[in-house]
A and B are shown apart, each in its own frame.
Chain A
């Protein structure tokens, strides 16, 4: 077969598979775009949308900490609600949350460096802190899940095509249940920055994803912890979906030398505060079903 015939055969094979287009496109193909903006254009959009949010707030609008309508984060454009959310009083079930106990996760699940036969590559670190409510009360027996890229900035997720090495000794997912003082602790590897295709030369600052349950379902959050001083902060649309610096600062894990273990691991401290309406002040009674 000549190379021309071979090409034609490939095209036919391709056209006979177009029915597959009925399934939704994979994320990486949605992100890749020939008319992507430059970093300078995205950075300017970040600044402009923060200013616009400030102006709306100054005009009396209730504006949340995290902006849902935030075009610099390109994949949000068709995925954010356009109507204002309804402010409601939580009903009974929303003031409760699934019950967790120490038995619900194995102790080893909080150490991401022990999940394989060998030691993962990278800088061993611990991150620990307290889970608190809006009144500073520690929340015991709540589940915290964590997932992250490896030291090279690669996720084990099959659609992550970043050409950095996977680490056979690192999966990057863990769980822990807070203790009686609301404290949690993970041992892991410091994640690397990684590229994504939001715009030309887009890189995410190093971060760890956290998923957190509070005592009330209204308090549920998924967020990301970052590392102080990252030069990618002003460039990153996702970090900047949070419009105020003071709010973004609360997602930064602080290096704490007292938590660093000699010859072993670097220590970071990060307290997590779950919000809740005033109704979450009251401890529901066991009989109050």
Chain B
């Protein structure tokens, strides 16, 4: 990238704040966690639990994902907030349940430009003062995972915190740990 051609930033960003306790009615919409229509060809469940530093589930978190389609194309279809049940928008949002669980219906993202496939993910929660970015990598492509510019800089434990587990039914399991020994690796850009 020709970074020397990027001009100086002229505007300071608006700082982020917590999503607070009472976001449910503000961030809700129909089928928000159904990135694809449930049980449609290629549809999988991506799910897991969001944990705090004491290992307790977080019942008031919101997870958002955005990913490429299975062929590695970047979704440009509109309608993430008005699902038509066939356009792939790549975006989903899930609130955690009382047990801290979230899940999405989506598809396995393909590799974009030869990169290791992953879901871009953001965590919001009551008690979390600002968003947290992370990635949910697919477990299969060992070669691309080994070559990934982020994963290759991490310790084994850190790396494991970013790679989902394949479930027997073809779904993906991924837990977010906001704090503690197995803390998920979070990203800034």
Contact = CB atoms under 8 A, between A and B. Distances in A.
Given A79-B179, A89-B189, A172 B26 contact: yes
Provide the main secondary structure of the chain B interface: loop
The 8 closest A-B pairs by CB, nearest first: A147-B26, A275-B13, A75-B127, A98-B91, A157-B22, A241-B129, A66-B130, A79-B127
A217 B17 contact: no
Contacts, number: 270
Interface string A245-277: 011101100000000000000000000111111
Nearest to A156: B25
Given A92-B112, A98-B89, A99-B89, A222 B16 contact: yes
Contact of B81 (A104, A171, A242): A104
A93 B14 contact: no
A286 B1 contact: no
Nearest to A218: B189
Interface residues of B, number: 83
A135 B66 contact: no
7 contacts: A24-B57, A96-B66, A101-B78, A135-B9, A211-B26, A220-B122, A274-B13
Given A172-B26, A211-B26, A91 B115 contact: yes
B129 A100 contact: no
A223 B14 contact: yes
B26 A160 contact: no
A281 B7 contact: yes
Interface residues of A, number: 91
Interface of B: 1, 3, 6-7, 9-27, 52-54, 56-60, 64, 66-68, 72-82, 89-91, 98-100, 109, 112-113, 115, 118, 120, 122, 124-133, 149-150, 153-154, 178-180, 183-189
A116 B143 CA distance: 56
Given A75-B127, A136-B10, A221-B131, 8 more contacts: A86-B153, A88-B188, A98-B91, A103-B82, A135-B11, A209-B19, A223-B17, A277-B189
